[in-house]
Copies of this chain bind each other. A is one copy, B any other.
Amino acid sequence: MKRDRVLLAHGGGGSLTRELIETMLLPRLENPLLKPLDDSAVLVMGNSGYAFTSDSYVVTPYLFPGGDIGRLAVCGTVNDLAVMGAQPFWLSLSLILEEGLPLTDLSTIVDSIHAAAAEVGAQVVTGDTKVVERGKCEGLYINTAGLGKISVPYWLGSANVKPGDAVIINGPIGEHGVAVMSRREGVAFQTSVTSDCAPLWPLVKAILDTGARIRAMRDPTRGGVAGAVCDIARASNVGIRLFEDAIPISGEVRGACDLLGLDPLTIANEGKVLVFCGAKDAEPVLAAMKNHPLGRQARVIGEVSTKPEGMALLRTTIGGERIIDMPTGEDLPRIC
């Protein structure tokens, strides 16, 4: 289908987002630093590697169970640095505010920003404030860019995964997406699920401190675990197999997904990290993760092989195998 206008799904983090990036942005902006399309760009300054990333946040509602757009913005940006092995140091904060936004809500959100940044020792060092007329945004949109120093003597990246690697996750999936959806107007379900929104650098540091050689990490946000493993399988040209019965998921999240007709693998997480490492490194990495509050429920959930090249598969509970498709991105707009 030839498209001539932006669709909501272009922002969903799935195949349409990728299409927009690959047909519209990359051909016009292409350069070697942008091309890897990892969570952060890797820059060399002095003799050190630094990670640089930026994300805008448009989540609705802007206050949700377990967090708010401010905490989300810091966590999302910190986590994009952390998965590149970078300790987050400096953040920018750019606000687009809707005329009429209650200042009490703004103060709650700015407090969340400060608290989340303080959890990892990062600071907001620069910023900007714009205001648009009533109705021209929804409460507020936030952009946070981040800079961190890479703390390992090698670079992580989604193209580095190798056959034989283990796939580890730090805990149950789908909580952020379900928590946000539960507060949407017109969505009729009750749940006690709260967003998993958390800055992952302390957990990532514990992983890196094992000395294990990590190939790649990815925080499975928009597009969920499905989007992340599809991306990495393609970038590394490997086959990734996940084991359905190993993937941690709560009964409540599973129930909400059944109700909404959604695959939990496609639901956004904001405090989860997928870790790819050699099979022999899996044990110490898993032990380090379980020893950290953000990794108590860590599990090996999959393995990497040579085939099928560039594809991700799910070995189901009943023993079959299905292809994990890159989500299109249309199911869950404005989730982050």
When A31-B123, A133-B8 are in contact, do A54 and B92 touch as well, CB less than 8 Å?
yes
CB-nearest residue of chain B to A43: B90
Docked pose: A20 CA to B131 CA in angstroms: 11
A contact residues vs B (CB 8 Å cutoff): 3-12, 17, 20-21, 24-25, 28-29, 31, 33-34, 40-41, 43, 45-48, 50, 52-58, 89-90, 92-104, 106-107, 110-111, 113-114, 123-133, 135-138, 141, 143, 145, 147, 149, 333-334
Contact A131 B8 (CB under 8 A): yes
Contact B114 A34 (CB under 8 A): no
When A34-B125, A132-B334 are in contact, do A110 and B29 touch as well, CB less than 8 Å?
yes
Interface centre among A33, A104, A132, by most chain B C-beta atoms within 10 angstroms, is: A132
Distance from A131 Cβ to chain B, minimum over Cβ atoms (Å): 3
- The listed residue (B4, B99, B107) touching A103 by CB distance below 8 A is B4
Distance from A332 Cβ to chain B, minimum over Cβ atoms (Å): 12
Chain B residues with CB below 8 A from A333, complex form:
131-133
Chain B residues with CB below 8 A from A12, complex form:
131
Besides A41-B126, A56-B95, 18 other CB < 8 A contacts? A6-B102, A6-B106, A12-B131, A24-B107, A34-B123, A40-B126, A43-B90, A43-B125, A43-B147, A53-B126, A54-B92, A54-B127, A54-B143, A55-B94, A58-B132, A58-B136, A131-B333, A133-B334
- The listed residue (B4, B29, B43, B104) touching A102 by CB distance below 8 A is B4
Distance from A111 Cβ to chain B, minimum over Cβ atoms (Å): 6
27 A–B contacts from the bound complex (CB under 8 Å):
A3-B103, A5-B101, A6-B97, A6-B100, A8-B99, A8-B131, A8-B133, A10-B97, A24-B106, A28-B107, A28-B110, A29-B110, A29-B124, A33-B90, A34-B123, A34-B126, A45-B46, A52-B147, A54-B93, A54-B127, A55-B128, A56-B95, A58-B130, A94-B145, A133-B334, A136-B138, A143-B143
